Homo-oligomer: A and B are copies of this chain.
Amino acid sequence: MTDQPILVNGTWQAAENPTGSFQATNPATKEPLPHSYPVSSWDDLQAMLDAAQEAVIALRQTPRSAIADFLEKYADAIEARQDALVEAANLETGLPAGTRLPGELGRTTNQLRQAGQAVRSGTWLTATIDTATNIRAMYGPLDGPVIVFGPNNFPLAFNGVSGGDMVAAIAAGNPVIAKGHPSHPRTTQLLAEAALEAIEATDVPQAMVQLFYHTSNENGTKLVAHPITGATGFTGSRTGGMALKAAADAAGKPIYLEMSSVNPIVILPGTLDERSDDMAQELFASCTLGSGQFCTNPGLVLMLDTPQTAAFIKQVESLFEGSDPGLLLNEGIIGSLKQGIQTWEQNGATRVTGGQPLQAGGYRFQNTLYTVDGATFLQHPEPLQAEAFGAASLIVLASDADQLIDCLNILEGNLTGCIYSATSDADESLYADVAAALRPKVGRLLNDKMPTGVAVSPAMMHGGPYPATGHPGFTSVGIPASIHRFAMWQSYDNIRPHRLPPELKDKNPTGTMWRFIDKTWSQADVS
């Protein structure tokens, strides 16, 4: 069997001296899927870096409209392949082909089009003009390509070759070298075919997007630290992320990581007095959505230890037990679920339900619920916050409000934090203390809503303090903020007017772009 090609500088070509090959597995059958893909040697990565370096130079002369054209044509080309993409992604990930994958595809094309619109509007550039000093500034591209490592759990909307990081990097004016996740290479290949079609239909460089599927850890760290590299976006495990971060940091290369998050849910007592049934249903639905394989999955629930809470846990238990566990992405998820749950047990958590893999019907694991008392959680905060990626959650039972706050104060950084409370003002005083403690620990704070929906909104923060990500100031979802990660802030001091980029000239180049002129946001020309 010959390996499938990789995408280098606008051409599908055989890998150079691959160090191995791999096939994806159908999680529903545990059988290998037909296509075989190369494990790339450094030769492939060097070829991509060299082509990307040329693309960086070419992009300095490429009009912004060409980048917007590319993003929009890419969205069209993905839609034209919808059926094939959904079929491939379903076979490789087990995610449902009915609504989930078409929905994720719509999110993917929506992101591409929002980014295209942002490039056309130019407002993301934050063009800043100080007429008193004649200093002007705006965001510009990096001095090198962006490397994007995609995760296993969103094969379309976070894919290295089509997802949020890729879209943000391209919108900022950088070429992308994407590493597809080895769990879904065929899906990634189809997306890259769409990307290449869009490259060929527009005026962006051939190396605007390049693709490989797999390489050694050593090559991965070498890639993110390479002198040609501009920055890296990574979504995946904490172990993998930390290894790449160490290499990139040592070389002074920006790296944005989305690693792990247990997404604490605090349910205040008034909620249960009012709507215990609905609350149980809502928690269950969020915990099991996508078989629990969302980065915003509620892995940690914090409540006061009351009789009402005990009854609530019974309700959740019965919902967990009454629902068939969904398919998991791959065998690795089962191993890490087992390990995460074992860590909880070793540190004093008690099983309510679940805890074991299923033997039949592909890769599946029982819906799993554990509890632990607040004192034990405070004694072992680190292992009891370990992420058990999948439909597995730990409920912390605090003895009183003070202990609840203590538990919140020792939380690690998370993507999200939710607070449920009475619709009356019964919980209002406790809410204030809980929100004050939770706010600095999470990127997105929610009320009366589960975290598993992540809207592509300008106000989205899909990020948070370490170790959820590597930096609390950035989001990987949401435009324009996500674009700024892959951009450089650039001043123009006393530059002769005709030499300024169009966005910094006195005349507003679009007539509608927002610019920050003398500390006022304006769509006008400089007067």
Contact = CB atoms under 8 A, between A and B. Distances in A.
A447 B491 CA distance: 12
B249 A447 contact: no
Given A254-B471, A439-B140, A495 B458 contact: no
A445 B493 contact: yes
A128 B459 contact: yes
Interface in A466-510: 466-467, 470-475, 481, 484-485, 487-496, 499
Nearest to A456: B133
Given A135-B457, A459-B135, A142 B494 contact: no
Contacts of A519: 121, 123, 458
8 contacts: A133-B455, A137-B459, A252-B466, A253-B466, A444-B490, A446-B493, A451-B493, A475-B489
Nearest to A410: B227
A33 interface: no
Given A457-B135, A521-B514, A445 B491 contact: yes
A168 to B, nearest CB: 13
A129 interface: yes
Interface string A121-138: 101000011101101110
Interface in A398-433: 413, 431
Given A132-B457, A446-B495, 12 more contacts: A60-B439, A61-B436, A128-B459, A135-B459, A143-B465, A254-B471, A431-B499, A445-B495, A447-B494, A449-B493, A461-B490, A473-B489
Nearest to A60: B436
Nearest to A136: B459
A480 to B, nearest CB: 9
Most buried by B among A137, A253, A254: A137
A358 to B, nearest CB: 34
A129 to B, nearest CB: 6
A526 interface: no
B484 A473 contact: yes
A130 B457 contact: yes
Most buried by B among A448, A481, A489: A489
A461 B487 CA distance: 13
Contacts of A245: 249
A435 interface: yes
A456 to B, nearest CB: 9
A471 B493 CA distance: 20
Contact of A455 (B135, B251, B253, B459): B135
Interface string A76-118: 0000000000000000000000000000000000000000000
